[in-house]
Copies of this chain bind each other. A is one copy, B any other.
Amino acid sequence: MPAPPSRVPQQERSRATRARLLEATVDCLVEYGWSGTTTTVVAARAGVSRGAQLHHYPTRAALVTAAVVHLAERRAAELRAEAEALPAGPRRFDRVIDMLAAAFTGPLFVAALELWVAARTDPELRAALVPLEARVGREMHRLTVALLDADERRPGVREAVQATLDLLRGLGVANLLTDDSARRTALLNTWKRQLATLLTP
């Protein structure tokens, strides 16, 4: 028996409303930081009523937690799509590192960093984010291994991938207030050669 015809549009509307709220949350974090990202500001930016916003995400912590998941999924999907579009060949490895570096200096990184730093001194936000941090970190690691076609069974490969992600996180922070791209490009050119050596059997 098919579902009542009125149900599907309602579900779709709900999904679209949630997506608009989560995108608006990320935009607000990038533009105003955590302190300016109140549920009222997000609802206004998303063009969603306060009532609808409270229905979907009753608290600020619930809203930003959902935004982190949404953000991590969007980033992973973007990276996968970009990587698929890369031509095969010797330049592919370097391009994957460039893509990852762009992800760690882009708006999604900035939004996540706002939340991470705020959560340090906000117990409710912290309780919501800590379980996600581990999950998002694992997924980012797995995605990077796949994109670099790395074989983690070989000794040292797991640590080399981890170091790459930690290095990129550090470079992301160094880019917060000023354009650090010239230094970053030079540094990553050296890192690409080292990493390639570490990953190559």
Which residues in A have some Cβ–Cβ distance to B below 8 Å? 31-33, 35-36, 110, 113-114, 116-122, 126, 129-130, 133-134, 137, 156, 159-160, 162-163, 165-174, 176-178, 183, 186-187, 190-191, 194, 198
Contact = CB atoms under 8 A, between A and B. Distances in A.
Nearest to A110: B120
Nearest to A113: B117
A170 to B, nearest CB: 3
A118 B170 contact: no
Contacts of A35: 35
A187 B198 CA distance: 14
Contacts of A116: 173, 176-177
Nearest to A190: B159
Contact of A162 (B126, B130, B176, B187): B187
Number of identical protomers: 2
23 contacts: A33-B117, A33-B118, A33-B120, A33-B121, A113-B117, A113-B173, A116-B176, A117-B176, A119-B176, A129-B177, A130-B177, A134-B178, A159-B190, A160-B190, A163-B187, A163-B190, A166-B170, A166-B171, A168-B170, A169-B170, A170-B172, A173-B173, A194-B198
Contacts of A31: 121
Contacts of A178: 130, 133-134
A162 B190 CA distance: 11
Contact of A117 (B117, B130, B187, B191): B117
A101 B130 CA distance: 22
Contact of A173 (B134, B170, B198): B170
Interface centre among A31, A121, A170 (most CB of B within 10 A): A170
